[in-house]
Chain A
Amino acid sequence: MRGAKERVAAVEGWFRMDEAEPRLLGVRCRACRTSYFPKESFCRNPSCGAADLEEIPLSRRGKLWSWTDNRYPPPPPFVAKDPFEPYSVAAVLLEAEKMVVLGQVVAGVDAAAFRLGQEMELVLDTLFEDEAKQYIVWKWRPVAA
């Protein structure tokens, strides 16, 4: 039996590597309470500019703001499957944060059935793999009605 490949984050510190309860990890300014994703070192609110930010998990669910289905392989550094498999990208509005976050949509979802405003949730999935490892990233998945 082949051993399972090691699962590692495709980018360090952007999300919680927790299959059951994955969350994007942002920061929030302790002074003006503005949230950011990806993380920032300084608050970008021009009326604030504080450097005192705390790590926070973002909301796991949001409303579909827009989507697209990409049919051609992007250039590197994207690692495309061979043969290429088209994928969808969703823009999801996190209501508490009032922030739209992009992510690929998990495979097997028919983008033609998407409706504006439908509920989406964050999951972890494989972005690409090599001989030894699976590289994991966040993706969006429709919440079953």
Chain B
Amino acid sequence: MARGVAVLGVGMHPWGKWGRSFVEYGVAAARAALKDAGIEWKDVEFVAGGDTIRNGYPGYVAGATFAQALGWTGAQVASTYGACATGAQAIDVARARILAGLCDVALVVGADTTPKGFFAPAGGERPTDPDWLRFRLLGATNPVYFGLYARRRMETFGATNEDFAQVKVKNSRHGLANPNARYRKAVTLDEVMASPVVSDPLRLLDICATSDGGAAVVLTSLDFARRHTTDAVTLAAVSTVTPRFPNTIIEMPNFATDSAASVPAPDVPFKDSIARRAYEAAGVGPEDLDLAEVYDLSTALELDWYENIGIAKPGEAEQLLRDGSTALGGRIPVNPSGGLASFGEAIPAQAIAQLCELTWQLRGEAGGRQVEGAKLGVAVNQGLFGHGSALLAKR
């Protein structure tokens, strides 16, 4: 079984459309996490920053940007990027450094300031970049891919527009009790169904917004944590898996899947492998989970995740939703934070925010959205270009 590291402190800057520098959100989140951990900034030996690609050069060197803003201390840094899974990569770099014995105390920070509307590719004419070409040749925005997955789910498993809408209804209720959520309003089924179609079958309220926000965690060795608290949450495993060849599910930003004509598709599809790798590393299974945070870029994708993380068999996710199992008070609450439905996406902060939520839940500090007696939680995420991420936290 893999050794864990302690999550000694967590902190967030509320999600919104604040329009300020991402550095402000990151510093606010970092200060909150340091205070929560009960340590000083100058105690931090290593800083891992999750990069943002929409905020100029400071965003590409996020680790140093945050370290400079907090005040240079000579700490070592790393900056990582893995699309939507960026935060998990930053967490994993810090974790690996601690497990290798290279440091005891690491700070992980991610923050973003986002433009209005659809995410667009980075600027300039780049006819060899598939992320540029998919917009140019297909008009394939991210919601176009989400729409393809959602339609496929309806056709193969009988999911309905109402099922998708009920995911939003559930997550919006969860988000009511989260002071860091951007949207804190209970959404009704009728409101989702009355919102305009963006990429059929998905409507505006089925698709997550883009948000500003910041999240940070203080990770430490278990020995260091024991000197500060008797009962720290442990980050038991991190998965940053990539697909296995051939990947037969169309992946953003690609034009085609791999061909499975010569080499058969792997037994475990990519998205199923993401959480599985973390379970295997920690010696647990989906039946041991008390809660899950999953990446609901669309409502339909949340249903896919139920199956990908093993809490439902293929085709049975709708049943889990309909019978209330994944709502607060149910057998396995999913997205008690309110999920992306309540937050919108602040890319490099999002996986870190997921770990913040797991930590609050496992400590019993989640207030009105508390999953009673939670001992084990998973957070999963997928970034384009084949980035899987799963974080497993326990107490």
Q: Residues of A with Cβ closer than 8 Å to B?
A: 10-11, 29, 32-38, 44-47, 65-72, 74-80, 87, 89, 91, 96-104, 111, 116, 127, 137
Contacts and interface: CB of A to CB of B under 8 A. Distances in A.
Closest 6 CB pairs of A and B: A68-B147, A75-B120, A69-B200, A66-B152, A98-B260, A116-B155
Contacts, number: 139
Given A34-B261, A46-B245, A102 B250 contact: yes
Nearest to A90: B148
A45 B196 contact: no
Interface string B106-148: 0000000000011011000101001011011111110110011
B132 A99 contact: no
B259 interface: yes
A145 to B, nearest CB: 18
B284 interface: no
A37 B256 contact: yes
Contacts of A76: 120, 135
Nearest to B134: A102
A89 B137 CA distance: 11
Contact of A35 (B117, B149, B261): B261
A37 B255 contact: yes
A47 B143 CA distance: 34
A36 B263 contact: no
B230 interface: no
A104 B139 contact: yes
Contact of B261 (A91, A98, A102, A127): A98
B200 A74 contact: no
B135 A100 contact: no
Nearest to B146: A68
B200 A111 contact: yes
A98 B248 contact: yes
A109 to B, nearest CB: 13
B164 to A, nearest CB: 13
A101 B256 contact: yes
Interface string B155-169: 110000000000000
B208 to A, nearest CB: 15
B199 A68 contact: yes
B258 A99 contact: yes
B139 to A, nearest CB: 4
Contact of A10 (B136, B246, B255, B258): B136
Contact of A75 (B135, B138, B152): B135
B151 A89 contact: no
Contacts of A68: 144, 147-148, 150-151, 199-202
26 contacts: A10-B136, A34-B246, A34-B258, A34-B262, A35-B261, A37-B255, A37-B256, A38-B256, A44-B258, A66-B149, A66-B152, A69-B200, A70-B144, A70-B198, A71-B199, A74-B118, A76-B120, A77-B121, A77-B135, A78-B135, A78-B136, A99-B257, A99-B260, A100-B257, A102-B254, A104-B139
B197 interface: yes
Given A10-B137, A76-B120, A97 B261 contact: yes
Contacts of A34: 246, 258-259, 261-263
B371 to A, nearest CB: 34
Contacts of A78: 135-136, 139
A78 B135 CA distance: 5
Interface string B237-254: 000000001101010001
B256 A89 contact: no
Given A98-B260, A102-B250, A77 B132 contact: yes
A16 to B, nearest CB: 16
B200 A99 contact: no
A96 B259 CA distance: 9
Contacts of A77: 121, 125, 132, 135-136
A108 B199 CA distance: 17
Of residues A66, A79, A97, which shows the largest number of chain B Cβ atoms within 10 Å of its Cβ? A66
Contacts of A97: 259, 261
Contacts of B130: 38
Contacts of A32: 262-263
A37 B148 CA distance: 19
A91 B136 contact: no
A66 to B, nearest CB: 4
A78 B118 CA distance: 12
B114 to A, nearest CB: 13
A113 to B, nearest CB: 13
B148 A91 contact: yes
Contacts of A91: 148, 152, 250
